């Protein structure tokens, strides 16, 4: 079921991105007059500009003008589930340049993480935790430390965490696996739990006419492209990402009807084929619409986002529910009464 809303969506203005890329190249070359390095700088900046053009699919930005009621949960004492529950989140989009909404997302993420620890649950991050992430060997973006701290607390508490990369954060590297203890998945995964089969993917590039995007994704994930971009100083790289991200937010508008059509196409062209392979649940993100549809004991879930909806999924061993983490629910989580 869709919830009608008037919100705004980002659609990149290619001319603006091109202008930013040219200006950034000019600035960085002036700061460094070494011809060889300038060649690398120009190549990496253009690579990032092309990459940013792929990040603007279905990414709503402004909060909805109304409050979505939270789901009702029975009071409990201690652990609520007979089996280990699975928690699913997607498209939180923590920005390079934090916004007031990022602080709110962080508070709610911390509340949810405490609930996951109390339930001894498993966490699946189904892509786009960040609006932009690139991993250097020795440098970590300081604005993301709050999120990393929460993930670290979950891991230290023994929570099993799976991170499926999305179209905004697929440059995740070994830091997350070796230092954070997170299982990284660069492709869709299948798993079985409580006699149910799950197919989990971010959802980008699954349509038949996404061939160009799939080719570009392979190029940008190529080790050569990653090494090339890593030649940029982290300050320069994230400065460019910040400019592109802030500009794209201005020039993109959300179209709920378009997203409905995309969701219908994804279901007809992709999800039904997956169901034919015997899966009970298909869990996706990317389209930013909270949606749960069951047909003949097979369920399709789109997890929504934390830009507009603050949604998360829970599978308790028998039923999959899609929940809204409103401020009221957050307070109940803290009181352990949901």
pLDDT at 139: 79
How many residues in the chain? 338
pLDDT at 48: 52
Neighbour count for residue 201 (Cβ, 10 Å): 23
Residue 251 CA from chain centroid, whole number: 21
Residue range 60-75, pLDDT digits in tens? 443 333 233 333 333 3
Task: In whole angstroms, give the CA distance from residue 278 to residue 173.
Answer: 32
Residue 177 has pLDDT above 50, yes or no: yes
Phi, psi dihedrals of residue 285, rounded to the nearest 5°: -125, -140
- Concatenated DSSP letters of 36-49: HHHHHHHHHHHHHH
Phi, psi dihedrals of residue 121, rounded to the nearest 5°: -90, 175
- Exposure string for 227-243, b = 16+ CB within 10 A, e = fewer: ebbbebeeebbbbbbbb
Residue 50 has pLDDT above 60, yes or no: no
pLDDT at 62: 38
Residue 96 has pLDDT above 70, yes or no: yes
Query: Following CA atoms 285, 145, 330, 194 in sequence, which dihedral angle do they give, to the nearest 10 degrees?
Result: 50
pLDDT at 3: 31
Complete domains list, the chain, with CATH: 14-62+80-334 (3.60.21.10)
CA angle centred on 18, ends 16 and 21, rounded to 5°: 110
What value does the mean pLDDT take over residues 169-195? 90
Could you tell me which residue, 307 or 41, shows the higher pLDDT? 307
Residue range 263-319, pLDDT digits in tens? 889 999 999 999 999 999 999 998 888 999 999 899 999 999 998 889 999 999 999
Least confident of 43-57, 94-108, 173-187: 43-57
What value does the mean pLDDT take over residues 189-213? 90
The answer to whether the predicted template modeling score (pTM) of the entire model surpasses 0.85 is: no
Neighbour count for residue 51 (Cβ, 10 Å): 24
Question: For residue 86, what pLDDT band results from cuts at 50, 70 and 90?
Answer: very high
Q: What is the mean pLDDT of the chain?
A: 75
Question: For residue 34, what pLDDT band results from cuts at 50, 70 and 90?
Answer: low
pLDDT at 58: 42
Q: Is 323 within 8 Å of 333 (Cβ atoms)?
A: no
What value does the mean pLDDT take over residues 1-20? 35
pLDDT at 229: 78
Residue 103 has pLDDT above 50, yes or no: yes
Q: Tokens standing for 218? A: 């392979």
Question: For residue 133, what pLDDT band results from cuts at 50, 70 and 90?
Answer: confident
pLDDT at 19: 37
Alpha-helix runs per DSSP H in 120-169: 145-156
pLDDT at 115: 93
Q: Is 200 within 8 Å of 283 (Cβ atoms)?
A: yes
């Amino acid at each position: 079921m869709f919830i009608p809303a008037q919100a705004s969506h980002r659609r990149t203005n290619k001319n603006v991105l091109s202008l930013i890329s040219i200006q950034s190249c000019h600035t960085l070359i002036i700061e460094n007059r070494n011809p060889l390095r300038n060649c690398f700088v120009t190549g990496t900046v253009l690579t990032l500009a092309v990459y940013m053009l792929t990040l603007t699919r279905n990414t709503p930005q402004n909060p909805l003008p109304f409050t979505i009621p939270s789901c009702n949960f029975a009071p409990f004492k201690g652990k609520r589930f007979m089996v280990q529950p699975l928690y699913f989140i997607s498209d939180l989009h923590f920005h390079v340049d934090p916004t007031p909404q990022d602080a709110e997302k962080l508070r709610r993420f911390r509340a949810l993480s405490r609930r996951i620890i109390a339930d001894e649950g498993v966490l699946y991050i189904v892509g786009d935790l960040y609006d932009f992430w690139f991993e250097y060997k020795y440098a970590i973006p300081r604005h993301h430390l709050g999120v990393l701290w929460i993930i670290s607390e979950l891991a230290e508490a023994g929570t099993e965490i799976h991170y499926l990369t999305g179209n905004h954060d697929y440059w995740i590297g070994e830091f997350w696996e070796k230092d954070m203890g997170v299982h990284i998945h660069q492709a869709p995964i299948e798993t079985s739990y409580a006699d149910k089969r799950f197919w989990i993917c971010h959802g980008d590039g699954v349509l038949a006419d996404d061939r160009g995007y799939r080719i570009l994704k392979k190029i940008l994930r190529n080790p050569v492209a990653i090494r090339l971009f890593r030649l940029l100083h982290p300050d320069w790289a994230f400065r460019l990402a910040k400019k592109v991200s802030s500009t794209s937010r201005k020039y993109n508008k959300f179209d709920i009807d378009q997203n409905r059509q995309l969701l219908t196409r994804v279901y007809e062209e992709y999800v039904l084929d997956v169901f034919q392979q015997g899966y009970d649940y298909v869990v996706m993100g990317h389209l930013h619409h909270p949606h749960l549809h069951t047909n003949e004991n097979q369920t399709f879930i789109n997890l929504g986002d934390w830009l507009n909806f603050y949604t998360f999924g829970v599978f308790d061993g028998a039923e999959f529910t899609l929940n809204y983490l409103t401020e009221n629910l957050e307070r109940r989580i803290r009181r352990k009464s949901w």
